[in-house]
A and B are shown apart, each in its own frame.
Chain A
């Protein structure tokens, strides 16, 4: 089973663009307001804000005029009495520590982030027809027809428009997102001490560069107990270390029975019994890797790529640690990444790596088309009798794997073990806490009635519970990579 090169590069480009969109949305829209006090921004001096921004980055949209306009916009919103998207927040909470100018800068970038995440998503929709739920992914490749002479297919105008979008989004990621995460991280340096939780990290390789899917542009693997020296790579779509390591427990989940099984052998038999502290209390199953809980996501991915010696990851990780150290006025080393704020830093590092990667994939696609190769899909036959397959993908929230048992051309069993299942899972068969749970223990809580600090740590994982209920994340892409073994 091979996927034509154009199919690989188009999928890869979509994955890079989608994850870039997703990481920008997570930091600014879904989690920045855990750290940024919108109401404090009203007290900021736009001139000082612009000066501060100028000292951190050469981004052209950090001018005094831009900051003054954002402050006026915010004032108008507050005066209207209808706060809209900012209505619900722990404003004035004692754990909010940023000065007014930093808060105003963050609000300005929150609004700009809406524009740039849309540009990233435009790349996905140009190639995939729409987003979410792209329509061009098929087993064996993609259905995105390439015809340089047709206005209704992927042609030179569309390809160069994609390149323009990649570069515009890349400017935002490198000059705004990466810088803001460093500034917030440096000013909340105490949060490098909280939220490590489970430090077994699992990540899979992605961005296949050949038709067989044996060479990957981004590495993946497993790190035990936060020790990068233990890194063991995962090297192919049929990797036995990965295939045999994954199991799921339902001891504490609302399913019938009490077992720990490999995904191929599992059943899906829901049985709700209410919230029991020491019994069953979640719809999410508890995945384990070699019998232990594992954390997945950008932090796991960045640590594994770093351990594998991936150059762009080393470049951006070093840049982030140096910038944080400079702003904080104290040396911050890689150990700080095992934390709540470290998960944000890792996501920004990964986002910058993916910008470089999108450029790599675009170049590869252009060069291949220039050779006259327009193939996009290989017919996917199903073998007679019973066969088993699995596929994986490093989705924005981490390792996604789908497992299928096929009998007589029909699906006999199907299980998806998705990123938020790994992270949000309950206690496992040995009653060991899942990553969310473990990361919360030891967190400070200034006011139990306003548990902002709990939210900070949970949000740092970028939860996606619609997927975690033992289903799928990342647009089901992994399934396209299912390999019959």
Chain B
């Protein structure tokens, strides 16, 4: 009988990740990777001078 586990959030990473697994006989048989956050910077840069985009978009990742 397959068992379903949800790991949410996965820690020691940057951001919010959820992983779902079906486990059967001591092995993973199916998996889902789910990003759990949304930010929308692509909408923020719309209508702006293209030369300003790097300043906005680099704020996305602090790693």
Please give the residue numbers on chain A whose beta carbons come within 8 Å of chain B beta carbons, in ascending order.
22, 29-31, 33, 88, 132-134, 137-139, 254, 268, 270, 275, 277, 281-284, 380, 382, 396, 402, 404, 406, 409-416, 418, 420, 424-426, 433-434, 436-438, 440-446, 448, 451, 454-455, 458-459, 462-477, 479-480, 482
Residue from B15, B23, B32 within 8 A of A448 (CB atoms): B23
Bound CA span A283–B46, Å: 20
B58 surroundings in chain A (CB, below 8 A): 133-134, 137, 472, 475-477
Known contacts A284-B33, A416-B42; 4 further A-B pairs (Cβ under 8 A): A414-B45, A425-B33, A440-B21, A473-B61
Please give the residue numbers on chain B whose beta carbons come within 8 Å of chain A beta carbons, in ascending order.
3, 5, 7, 10-17, 19, 21, 23, 26-43, 45-51, 53-63
* Chief secondary structure at chain B's binding surface: mixed
Residue of A nearest to B30 (CB): A441
| Docked-complex contact A445 and B49, CB < 8 angstroms | no
| Docked-complex contact B19 and A436, CB < 8 angstroms | yes
| Docked-complex contact A31 and B12, CB < 8 angstroms | yes
Bound CA span A176–B49, Å: 46
Residue from A440, A448, A471, A482 within 8 A of B60 (CB atoms): A471
Min CB distance, A272 to chain B, in Å?
A: 8
Bound CA span A411–B47, Å: 5
| Docked-complex contact A480 and B33, CB < 8 angstroms | no
B59 surroundings in chain A (CB, below 8 A): 133, 476
Bound CA span A270–B32, Å: 20
Bound CA span A479–B36, Å: 26
| Docked-complex contact B29 and A441, CB < 8 angstroms | yes
Min CB distance, B59 to chain A, in Å?
A: 6
A472 surroundings in chain B (CB, below 8 A): 41, 57-58, 60-61
Bound CA span A468–B50, Å: 22
B62 surroundings in chain A (CB, below 8 A): 132-133, 466
A470 surroundings in chain B (CB, below 8 A): 42
Residue from B10, B36, B54 within 8 A of A458 (CB atoms): B10
| Docked-complex contact B60 and A473, CB < 8 angstroms | yes
Q: Considering the complex of A and B, which 3 residue pairs feature the smallest CB-CB distances, nearest first? A: A465-B15, A476-B58, A284-B35
Query: What are 6 A-B residue pairs whose CB atoms fall within 8 Å in the complex?
Result: A414-B42, A426-B32, A445-B27, A454-B5, A465-B17, A479-B54
B41 surroundings in chain A (CB, below 8 A): 416, 471-472
| Docked-complex contact A139 and B51, CB < 8 angstroms | yes
- Kindly name the residue among B3, B39, B51 whose own CB sees the greatest number of chain A CB atoms within 10 A: B51
Residue from A411, A451, A477 within 8 A of B48 (CB atoms): A411
Min CB distance, B5 to chain A, in Å?
A: 5
Q: From known contacts A426-B32, A473-B63, infer whether A463 and B10 are also in contact, taking CB-CB under 8 Å.
A: yes
Residue of B nearest to A381 (CB): B51
Residue from A402, A411, A426, A442 within 8 A of B27 (CB atoms): A442
Residue from A284, A414, A464 within 8 A of B63 (CB atoms): A464
Min CB distance, A466 to chain B, in Å?
A: 4
| Docked-complex contact B12 and A459, CB < 8 angstroms | yes
| Docked-complex contact B21 and A454, CB < 8 angstroms | yes
Bound CA span A465–B18, Å: 10
Bound CA span A426–B17, Å: 12
| Docked-complex contact A443 and B28, CB < 8 angstroms | yes
- Kindly name the residue among A137, A268, A277, A472 whose own CB sees the greatest number of chain B CB atoms within 10 A: A472
Q: From known contacts A132-B61, A471-B57, infer whether A282 and B35 are also in contact, taking CB-CB under 8 Å.
A: yes
Bound CA span A226–B17, Å: 27
B29 surroundings in chain A (CB, below 8 A): 441
| Docked-complex contact B61 and A467, CB < 8 angstroms | yes
Min CB distance, B41 to chain A, in Å?
A: 5
| Docked-complex contact B31 and A441, CB < 8 angstroms | yes
A31 surroundings in chain B (CB, below 8 A): 12
Bound CA span A444–B29, Å: 10
Residue of B nearest to A447 (CB): B26
Bound CA span A424–B7, Å: 14
Residue of A nearest to B53 (CB): A479
| Docked-complex contact B49 and A409, CB < 8 angstroms | yes
Bound CA span A281–B39, Å: 17
Bound CA span A424–B3, Å: 22
Bound CA span A414–B23, Å: 40
Residue of A nearest to B46 (CB): A411
Bound CA span A22–B14, Å: 12
